[in-house]
Structure 1
Amino acid sequence: MLDTPTYVSRSARMLLAALSVAVVSGCATNYPSGSSQQTAQYVLTNDAATLLGDESLNRFLSQAPASGVHTMARSPWGDNVEIVAESAYLAASGRKCRQLRVIEATGSTRTALVCETPNGWVNQRLVTQVVRGRS
């Protein structure tokens, strides 16, 4: 037969231990600060990302539907390019991002990544892109 007081105290200790773990892990969580000023940074490094200064490009990235096309005489990805924006998605960083196809006048295509910050859209390095000059 089970000894009821031992069973109850063992269950109470297990519950107390579980609650203690939950409280301690909650204290270790890094919540965002209430500051509205956010620095644009790469997702995987602390390097500053490059803000896209062109207002029409920022407006296009904010409003264009999937497969929307924007033509630019001068862009961060070269001159005389056509930019095709894929669907926006929420990145692990918590920012809205879009993958772009940049089509040059020669017909060659490359991929770019942009993410939205409070200061505008920023050009991000693709995670699969090799960084030259670093060991």
Structure 2
Amino acid sequence: MSVRFQTWADKWLLSRGNLNCSSVDLYGARNGLLHRMTSDSKLSEKGLARRIIYDYAGVATSRLLKDHQISSGEFAAINLITFAHETKDAEVELIGSCDRDSGVRARYIMKAERFYSKDFIQFIQASVTLRA
């Protein structure tokens, strides 16, 4: 398991308690999606992580569990809208924490420019400025 991923997820993504999963569940889901194109992973097969059900309207979770007679303990249900908001909030908080060290902030922004749109970078920078 990636300790780096788990540490980041625990600190930035899951710390507000709005997602019904653990960092291990997320890491298993990441691996399952990347390597198998499913919610199954080696971690879920070993019982170390729950598989994630991505839900949009709140209906999919209960219907899937009922239709397939699956124990809810095997799954963590994540609402996609909540997940998107939590991901954005994690990025905003991470950038905000860089305000104490201008060198760290500059390196983060430089790296972020490789992966995010200019509009998103400006949004993050504005969010940090508003919080300061």
Question: If the TM-score is normalised by the length of the shorter chain, which range does it land in?
Answer: under 0.3
> With structure 2 as the length reference, what TM-score do the two structures score?
0.24
The higher-RCO structure (CA 8 Å, 6+ apart) is: 2
> With structure 1 as the length reference, what TM-score do the two structures score?
0.24
